[in-house]
Amino acid sequence: MNHSNQYEVGKLFEEVTIETKKIFDGKVISLQVDTVTLPDGSTATREIVKHPGAVAVLAIRDDKMIVVEQYRKPLGKSQVEIPAGKLDAGELPQAAATRELEEETGYIAESLIPLTSFYTSPGFADEIIHLFVAEQLVQGSMQTDEDEFLEVMAFTLDEAFTAIRAGRISDAKTISAVYAWQIKKLTGHWPL
Amino acid sequence: MNHSNQYEVGKLFEEVTIETKKIFDGKVISLQVDTVTLPDGSTATREIVKHPGAVAVLAIRDDKMIVVEQYRKPLGKSQVEIPAGKLDAGELPQAAATRELEEETGYIAESLIPLTSFYTSPGFADEIIHLFVAEQLVQGSMQTDEDEFLEVMAFTLDEAFTAIRAGRISDAKTISAVYAWQIKKLTGHWPL
């Protein structure tokens, strides 16, 4: 690439990989340590978790959001979150969102729109979550993974904020979804 | 603990650790694989990234949010984010927020209030980010880490949404902060 302008979108302060050391390859994540050259010519190491990406769904029915409570081993406690799950290999986010919503809650959405996508931890992981809004829900059939146990509930916006204050809801995707839902209620539009 | 009610907050579908295998211990994260007993008595493995926790700051000056652009090696591109950084050992979130804001942007906040805290990836990591709102900013002195290169900018709310749509802002903490800021503008109150 040969650009004359100093600033190129996405390349500011680029770090060039000089070595990649594979540490772990698991069923959900893998881990590598890259040695990089910094803009000043010095070197540093970067610990990088690779993740297949995920989807999450803000599903609304009768003015309540559908949430699931499940045990999160990394936190040592159960938490209330919007339905979510990893992308299968080659799966498009829209298809994964449809699949995860039905698997975890039993609902099929007749309207599913992409709201936003975000990296969860850009300092050490490449995980991206594609967040969708699902409306016009009809009954399908719940079918969780074999190592997945969860309870389905529905919260009003007020109940969601109460759950945030109580620490029952405490993850980035669900809090973002609650904020987006409040913006929708206040403005009539999803924040796109 | 001895509760007679079936539901105990945070313990629903608890998974009991029967073995922990340490995989990696780095300068930012460590990785372990836990073998757990599931509620139905079967076993599963959980890949768990341990992280010291972090702070992020929505700093507002002249109705603009202060943001930093930096290269994110896990993503292979630079991104615009609110100022953030890891907690030092034993450091309180409020102190870390004050420190990171000044180090990364040169600003000292005369008002710093906790907005919310969230886990970024509860499925595989224990990272928590404590998000603060900083106002009444005065000039201090910028002092980035030796392996940290960044550029400080200021975005209006409209510019922030434009950056989200363009993919220049694409991380959970910054998008959450932008949504919270819009709610503050619409209602006069931070979503607490």
SS3 string, chain B, reads CCCCCCCCCCCCCCCEEEEEEEEEECCCCEEEEEEEECCCCCEEEEEEEECCCEEEEEEEECCEEEEEEEEECCCCEEEEECCEEECCCCCCHHHHHHHHHHHHHCEEEEEEEEEEEEECCCCCECCEEEEEEEEEEEECCCCCCCCCCEEEEEECHHHHHHHHHHCCCCEHHHHHHHHHHHHHHHHCCCCC
Chain A environment of B29 (Cβ under 8 Å):
47, 49, 124
Question: CB contact, 8 Å: A141 with chain B?
Answer: no
Strands B43-50, A54-61: pairing is unpaired
pLDDT band per the 50, 70, 90 thresholds, residue A8: low
Closest CA to B71 of A46, A69, A104, A18: A46
Contact criterion met (CB < 8 Å) for A71 and B12: yes
Residue with tokens 């039993």: A106
State the Cα–Cα distance between residues B174 and B67, nearest whole angstrom: 9
- Residues of A (111-130) whose Cβ lies below 8 Å from B: 116-129
Please provide the DSSP assignment of A110-136 as one string: EEEEEEEEEES-TTTB--EEEEEEEEE
Tell me the nearest-neighbour CA distance from B7 into chain A, angstroms: 11
Question: CB contact, 8 Å: B66 with chain A?
Answer: no
What average pLDDT does this structure show over A86-115? 97
Among A20, A27, A120, A170, the strongest candidate for a mutation testing the B interface, having the largest count of B CBs within 10 A, is A120
Contact criterion met (CB < 8 Å) for B45 and A29: no
CB B126 within 8 A of CB B51: yes
Residue B118 clears pLDDT 80, i.e. is over it: yes
Chain B environment of A126 (Cβ under 8 Å):
74-75
For residue A10, what are the β-bridge partners? none
Of A86, A124, A161, the CB nearest to B29: A124
Which residue of chain B comes nearest to A166, CA vs CA?
B9
Of B26, B149, B176, the CB nearest to A176: B176
Q: Using one digit for the tens of pLDDT, what is the confidence trace for A18-51? A: 999 999 999 999 999 999 999 999 999 999 999 9
Residue A148: count of CB within 10 angstroms of its CB: 16
Residue A137 clears pLDDT 70, i.e. is over it: yes
pLDDT band per the 50, 70, 90 thresholds, residue B8: low
Q: Considering just the CA atoms, what is the radius of gyration of chain B in Å? A: 19
Q: Which of A15, A19, A146, A159 is catalytic?
A: A146
CB B107 within 8 A of CB B140: yes
Contact criterion met (CB < 8 Å) for B179 and A165: no
pLDDT band per the 50, 70, 90 thresholds, residue A171: very high
- Residues of A (2-21) whose Cβ lies below 8 Å from B: 9-15, 17
Quote the mean pLDDT of chain B.
Answer: 94
State the Cα–Cα distance between residues A69 and B159, nearest whole angstrom: 36
Chain B environment of A128 (Cβ under 8 Å):
170
What average pLDDT does this structure show over A138-161? 93
CB A160 within 8 A of CB A169: yes
pLDDT band per the 50, 70, 90 thresholds, residue A9: low
Contact criterion met (CB < 8 Å) for A175 and B118: yes
Whole-structure pTM value: 0.94
Encoded tokens for B127: 């990272």
Residue with tokens 């990364």: B104
Q: Using one digit for the tens of pLDDT, what is the confidence trace for B144-181? A: 888 889 999 999 999 999 999 999 999 999 999 999 99
Tell me the nearest-neighbour CA distance from A119 into chain B, angstroms: 4
CB A129 within 8 A of CB A55: yes
